[in-house]
């Protein structure tokens, strides 16, 4: 059974600081997704990582994937208040379906303090 673990679960940061969220998964996969969720809202796609060594950046967020270590990271640079949200990683797997079944981590609730 595929397990996805994120840490930390809760993160309070000062504005302007850097930090990294970690996502470990238990079985081989070639699809790793990062989503953002604001309170009471749906999931917004941030990144799709497809291969070993993949790195993607959007603004103050950078995601990377190491398939050999089964590890993805989401790095936050010079945090600002607008980044406060819950961040989920998800591993995609497919058996008989037409699209990947996503297995999510528990989420990291990020609060950026002034």
Q: Which is nearer to another protein, 99 or 114 (CB)?
A: 99
Lookup: tokens for 55: 């790195």
Residues of this chain that interact with another protein (CB under 8 A) are: 4, 31, 33, 35, 41-45, 48, 50, 88, 90, 94-107
Q: Which is nearer to another protein, 13 or 43 (CB)?
A: 43
Lookup: tokens for 91: 């591993």
Question: Is the torsion defined by CA of 103, 9, 17, 22 positive or negative?
Answer: negative
In the bound complex, what is the minimum distance in angstroms from residue 33's beta carbon to another protein? 6
Give 23: exposed, middle or buried? Use CB within 10 Å, 0-12, 13-18, 19+.
buried
Q: Which is nearer to another protein, 70 or 100 (CB)?
A: 100
């Amino acid at each position: 059974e595929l397990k996805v673990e994120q840490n930390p679960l809760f993160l309070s940061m000062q504005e302007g600081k850097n930090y990294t969220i970690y996502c470990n998964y238990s079985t081989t996969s070639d699809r790793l997704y990062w989503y953002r969720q604001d309170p009471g809202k749906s999931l917004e796609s941030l990144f799709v990582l497809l291969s070993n060594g993949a790195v993607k950046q959007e603004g103050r967020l950078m995601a990377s994937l190491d398939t050999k270590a089964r590890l993805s990271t989401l790095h936050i640079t010079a945090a600002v208040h607008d980044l406060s949200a819950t961040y989920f990683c998800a591993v995609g797997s497919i058996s008989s379906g037409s699209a990947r079944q996503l297995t999510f981590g528990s989420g990291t609730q990020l609060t950026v303090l002034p």
